[in-house]
Amino acid sequence: MNDMQTKPARRVAMLLRALVLAGLALGSGAGLAQALNDIPMAVKNNTPPNFMFMIDNSGSMLNIVPGPPYDPAATYMGACPAAGGGIVIPAANSTIEIRVVGGEPFARLAGTNRRHVSVTNTGNRICFTNTDNYIARLYNPVGGYGQSSYTGHYLNWYFGNYDGHPMTGWTTRKPVNTGSVTTRMDVAKNSATTVIGALPITTPASVRLGLSTFNSGNGGTLRMGMSDLTAANRATLNTSISGLNAGGTTPLAETLADIGRYMATGYSGNITADGVTGVSINDFLAQNGRGSCLNGANCLTTTTDADAAPTTGTPTRPIQYWCQRSYAFVMTDGLSNGDQAFSNNTRLRDYDRDCQGALAANCVSGGASTAWDRKAGRFYEAEGSDYLDDVAKALFDMDLRPNLPSPDPVLRPKKNNLSTYTIGFADRGLVNDPLLVNTARQAGGKALFPADAAELTSAFTSVITDAFAKDAAAAAVAVANAQITLGNTGYASSYRSGSWYGDLVAYSLNTSTALQTGGDLWSLRVNLDSQTPASRKIATFNGSSGVEFASGLSYAGKPASLTNEVINYLRGDRSKEIDAAITDPARTFRARQHVLGDIINAEPVVVTYPGNVPIIFQGGNGGMLHVVDGRVEASVPTRGQELWAYVPKLVHDNLAELTKPDYLHKYYIDGTPAVAELSTTSKILVGGLGKGGRGYFALDISDYNAATQADAASKVLWEFSPTGMGYSFGTPLIVKVGSDWRVIVASGYDATVHGIWVLDPATGTGPFISAPSASGLAHLGKLANTAADANTRYVWGGDNVGNVFRFDLVAQTAVRIAVLTDAGGTLAQPVTSPPEVGPVPGSTTKFLVHIGTGRYLADADVPGPGQNPEAVQRQTIYGLLDDTSVASPALPNLRGTNGNTCVNGGNGDLVCQTLTYVAASGRYQASTNAVDLSTKRGWYLDLPTDTTPTANNMINGRIVSKPALTTGGTLTLTVNIPTNVQCDPGGRSWFLALNSVTGGAVPRDIGGNTYFESGFFLGYALGSRPVIVLTADGKRALIRMSDKDVKNPDVPESATAAAQWRRIYFRPVK
């Protein structure tokens, strides 16, 4: 049994669970159908970012944009004919203007109208040198807009008799038979509506959008206020964009300042920004003769939010929450023009100090106010300035809504600033313009310079993608489950909501702290993106045997939606994905940022093969279980690579959903699998689906490699989905019963039969053991810290209505050993996590079943509007004594007359322990009431409900992830207190360490009367189950938080505690 080390990676039963039991209010004996959500609950606390589109509507937007049917590679006019005889060949950089007379086009040069030489052989004619550049205005009538640069090659096509259209019938521009001749305004409107149309509409909204433009040369105007992206709001926004008309100047800095002041609506107090203090936001952003604000917006409205509840915001205000991030996408086709209104603003006109000190020599007039921050040697338009980067940097540095602070001061501070992206469109003179580049660089954005329609659409897509990525980095929730360790290497998975991609990474661990040291050693997301679809080895099941998951898949009953195109997409083919920059009617599938689907509740399972080769089995919601080479050595070419993958037939019906452009989210392989070594040559994996389906699948993983795709298919053993089974949330138990191995699975959530199946690992068949009065039995546990091949007769599990069962695998019977209720005695305490079972010292038939109560499965489980009774129910940790020599034990009287309190352990069948907050240490101390298991049926500890500490107490706490029991007898667990507060990473959490036999404090020495502290605050985020590791400094519990942090509290154990089990639970970090 030494060739394989099974790394049990039970799913985090609470953290970011995607299970929603709508309207569930279960009392004792109740059993209701459960509605299960497809979106993780905790991401509902995420706040959608604000995207403000600023689209240039200045007069120069009437300039024509070269595009199809014009082809820059085509030959329209070779060498021009010789000049003379009415023919002129303008010098490079000559100014050309269009004139349309009687429906015919003329190129006007130096006051003379001329036809192109391809149109006529007589009169005043013109021809352009293909390789020269010219300054031209090509939209008729000329006037009210600036010029642009075009090549002679384009002008020859534009004024010439090409693309089959007669040189008559002209009005505003060149008419063509195919394609179109568009203005910059046309292109901008089309590109903006295209990318906005590609944004998914979600509930709640994943983004908020607004629109602003120039206000006829006087700063900016608000076309549409910041609003959630809904179908109705998108239609309104697109209508506003479509109605834009070009005219006026280009006041870039003035407009960005107006946008900033608009975003700060709700605040009129003082700001702090890079040395500027004690100045009101109105004065700081003041322009000559007016205050900054988008025309049509009321930027001077002061806040009405109460200081006690600053997170609620006001829906009509752009920034609603303390953690909300905001981005401005400034698209312009020209340099700053009519943009000098900050000359009297001494704080803002050179905020970035690039005209101060030694840098003053680089500026016109040494940076004098009348020089408008202009730089020497650069070209500026009339009334142009260099203020844009100053304004952008200031808006990035300052907090626009300091009156929306975090409700929890200890949370990481976040600043409601504005990041600015710049897009310089179509004008050759803008490419790499220093002002646009510096603006984006100093304001947390990026600068792009698209030349045509396709590139502009791509640029809009790029800035949106980049902004979403930055928002993801600051989002409340991005972590799925616990960290798994092997030696000094850690493995952890995560996901990105909205884009719904995931990652699995490996990294080195500090041998003393067990925390990550250095960067990631590899990323499955990165590796899978670079792997060709054809090279992947992916298998599936056809109902009777394993087959290749590839184009041409066919079997009886195969869903019609699972087409070859869908299969290719799932394999990583991206040729059918919608691409805003490519016009192709065949591209109809959802555009992915990455091939790897999100990984939410499925933990990585690590198996060590001969040669000390770690292989990771990772489920994901891209529809696959991935088999990954876990090695990290640079000499291993396949390190971090997918070796092969499996797509269960159980999820085939829903796979096409992944390709839909309006895809929101679904679960597929969301359960954590179990693995076991059945013999020295045989290993098996059995996995469930979580909300992804009702069933389990089994794979032969004796050999981790797959030489071919057919080889991968040969590893498929069976799939199991009996009538009445619910959603397979629980991790299977693979145990030895007598001389035979068996796979134990529970009936799950939303089942119509309740109990467990005992399956033959070779066939996937076996008897069903019914559990009386059960409802929602999803998770099972067995004796902890035993050898993998230890003989197992009993397993235990709790259900959604407080029943705790013992299952006898030999007699094939089930019996209730307890019904858990709160102090009132009438409301059942739900069990939604696996029990942790330990022996009773000195007995071979008695066991302590450690089990926590509470539920985090539904919106109604979270305190707030629409809450159910369990949301505010007091939850409990139990150590239930189960004497297996008694076939049908009487149910214990848990509490006697204790109620919500108990004195000296109370008078129930279980001894009561309590937690007391110690203000001096900021920790909880457990009581030490004696527990005599010869007369008592165990112990219980109610989570404290006192309001001390004020901000981070345990009120409404629950235990919804698996406890961990050390070989020294310490029971560790995570208590989570979920919230529905925007910006909150799910809630807050505590770590508890208790004496597993008594439920009280852990003694520092066996028989001693001094004790370790019992409760340690983890932070303002939800915590995963604890994973116990042995470091150079002792045992630690690794707990992964929903804000990406990892906590590593010490695990207290009695100094002389002796191991009572054959095999340790913890993993050494070495």
Mean predicted confidence (pLDDT) in 408-430 = 82
Q: What is the 3-state secondary structure (H, E, C) of 876-923?
A: EEEEEEEECCCCCCCCCCCCCCCCCCCCCCCCCCCEEECEEEECCCCE
897, burial (CB in 10 Å: exposed 0-12, middle 13-18, buried 19+): exposed
- Residues, the chain, total? 1070
User: How would residue 199 be classed by pLDDT, with cut points 50, 70 and 90?
Assistant: confident
Q: Does the pLDDT at position 990 exceed 60?
A: yes
Q: What is the pLDDT of residue 497?
A: 78
The residue written with tokens 């947390």 in the block is: 444
Pairing of strands 326-332, 50-55: parallel
Indicate the DSSP class of residue 417: -
- pLDDT the model gives residue 18: 25
Q: What is the mean pLDDT of the chain?
A: 89
Neighbours of 558 (CB within 10 A): 15
Beta strands 95-101 and 276-280: pairing type?
unpaired
Q: For the segment 930-975, what is each residue's pLDDT rounded down to a tens digit?
A: 999 999 999 999 999 998 888 789 999 999 999 999 989 999 999 9
Pairing relationship of beta strands 95-101 and 104-109 according to DSSP bridges: antiparallel
189-193, 304-308, 436-440: the lowest-pLDDT one: 304-308
What is the average pLDDT across 633-646? 98
Q: What is the pLDDT of residues 1005-1047, one digit of tens each?
A: 888 889 999 999 998 888 999 999 888 888 999 998 887 788 9
pTM of the model: 0.77
- Residues 455-502 have pLDDT tens digits of 999 899 889 988 887 775 554 333 436 667 777 899 999 888 778 899
Pairing of β 938-942 and β 911-913: parallel
Across residues 518-527, what is the average pLDDT?
96
Distances (CA, A) of 641 to 528, 571, 628, 1034: 7, 15, 6, 33
Instruction: Sheet with 716-720: list strands edge to edge.
Output: 674-679, 682-688, 696-700, 716-720
Q: Is the pLDDT of residue 993 over 90?
A: yes
Q: What is the mean pLDDT of residues 43-59?
A: 89
Each residue's pLDDT tens digit, 349-392: 999 999 999 999 999 999 898 899 999 999 888 899 999 999 99
Choose between 329 and 35: higher pLDDT: 329
Band the pLDDT of 21: cuts 50, 70, 90.
Answer: very low
* For residues 428-441, average pLDDT: 91
At 580, the pLDDT band (50, 70, 90 cuts) reads: low
Question: How far is 295 from 221, CA to CA, in rounded Å?
Answer: 4
Backbone phi and psi for residue 913, each to the nearest 5 degrees, phi listed first: -115, 160
Q: Is the pLDDT of residue 777 over 60?
A: yes
What does each C-alpha distance from 119 to 125, 128, 180 come to in angstroms?
A: 9, 14, 21
What is the C-alpha separation between 511 and 808, in angstroms, rounded? Answer: 42
Please state whether beta strands 125-126 and 112-116 pair in parallel, antiparallel, or not at all (unpaired): parallel
* Model pLDDT, residue 518: 92
State the pLDDT confidence band at 224, using cuts at 50, 70 and 90. very high
State the Cα–Cα distance between residues 1041 and 1051, nearest whole angstrom.
Answer: 18
DSSP bridge pairs for 736: 741, 791
Which tokens in the block code for residue 439? 């603006």
Secondary structure class of 933 (helix, strand, coil)? coil
The mean pLDDT value for 419-427 works out to 95
Q: Which domains does the chain have, with CATH numbers?
A: 6-46+477-1068 (no CATH), 68-180 (no CATH), 187-473 (3.40.50.410)
What pLDDT score was predicted for residue 472? 59
Residue 1023 contacts residue 976 (beta carbons within 8 Å): yes
CA dist., res. 769 & res. 751, Å (int): 14
Q: Per-residue pLDDT for 1062 more than 50?
A: no
Instruction: For residues 249-264, give the mean pLDDT.
Output: 96
Contacts of 307 (CB under 8 A, 6+ apart): none
- Helix (H/G/I), strand (E/B), else coil: 457: helix
Residue 421 has pLDDT above 80, yes or no: yes
For the record, the structure tokens of 517 come out as 């040291």
